[in-house]
Structure 1
Amino acid sequence: MALTEEVDTTRQYEIPEGVLLEFRLAGPLVRASAWAIDAAIRAVLYIVIGLSFSYFGGVGVAIILIALFLIEWFYPVLFEVKNGATPGKKAMGIWVIHDNGTPVTVSASVIRNLLRAVDFMPVMYGFGLLSMLFNREFKRLGDLAAGTLVVYRDNYEERSELPSRTAERPGVELTESEQQAVLAFAERASGLSSERRVELAEILSEISGHNGERAVDGIYGYANWLIKGR
């Protein structure tokens, strides 16, 4: 597979309500650029932490080692769960989502990032690069295990128009089917009567904790959070 194919490669996913989602997949080159940016940021953090605690003897060394471990393994998890993308990915206009288009969860992000150790082997992401080159969705081993995709953010955000509400993160972690139901409801909202919107929203009242129009507004807020990944 030629590397130039990454520019036009897309993935489509149809949710149960018949809404077709389309994503433009990010290939090895743009992902390598994002990784380089993140590596530079981590390097600066390592230097700052090393200089700040190097004068505290054994305690300082322990703090440095703990900080290096946390940054190396949880730097990407923190940003992916919060914004869908690390600073490097954000700079390159890409982000991480589930195969079905929903924002990446903590568990999926942890899995895909812990497996970077395998992807890195034998050197400089050799296994990860081979996996992406032989996979039509450019998935490295971590993505295959976690069920995630790396896509261009612009197309994903432009694919639909939702009722304008402040994005609100659900109080509980939603399952895949619940996320799909929330998105499907918001996608169809403009074509439904107010009575029908309330009726459908109240089916999801266990998620929102509200009834009536408050339930509708709550689902809209969750849908905007899901579509934006924050």
Structure 2
Amino acid sequence: MTEFERKFEKAEEFFNEKKYLHAVQIYQSLLNIEQIKRKAAVKLIEIYDIQHQFESAVNVFKRYISDEKSDEDMLTYYAQFLIRYKKYAEAHDVLSAISNDNRPEKNLLMGIVNYYLEDYEIALINFADFIKRNPNSELLPEAHLFTANCYLKNMELDSTLNHAKESEKIYNQNYEVYLILAVVYFSKEMYYHALDNIQKSIKLNPGDIKSILWSGRILNKMGEPEQAKKNIEPCD
């Protein structure tokens, strides 16, 4: 074991003991060591993320990527990190440096970024490309769900319905799928279908305020104002 590996192992011990300050000091000292700088950077970012030190984590990403511009795994990780912190314009720039061929999830991530930047037409192109290129991806339910959301923004109800059902077909434990289905059926004045789906949504995520409010709205349309009032009481 080299000296640097011993240091890294010691930092791991501090990390596991949640002695983050000590761990950070060691990981920072390893950022200039070629053989281990990537592992040190990843651990530093993890600590800064735990401590909600966004700028510190970004600085580590930038420092590492400035030396390793072709590391598309790290670029993808950086983009995902930025998306999680809702830095969509910055994530767009990072994703632009990644190859579609090497990173099949690029189109999905770019679609998510464009969705939150409210560029729904481009987002739909990204999602369609991802779905076409990756027919067996475990991320397909998410791609179909975002596609459904894009169509819903434009009130293209049939396309919304088709993609929400595709998402449900692959993975039926996401409350958002049933919320979207409920909204579509409500818009189509198919209130019993809407109620069935909103109940599934609430069952999967009982604390979701949006689903609870939609249940009240649907019940009111079905002529059940008392039940609607009872359902939405937790939201008052």
Q: TM-score, normalised by structure 2?
A: 0.28
**Structure label with greater radius of gyration:** 2
Q: TM-score, normalised by structure 1?
A: 0.29
Compare relative contact order (CA 8 Å, sep 6+) and give the higher one, 1 or 2.
1
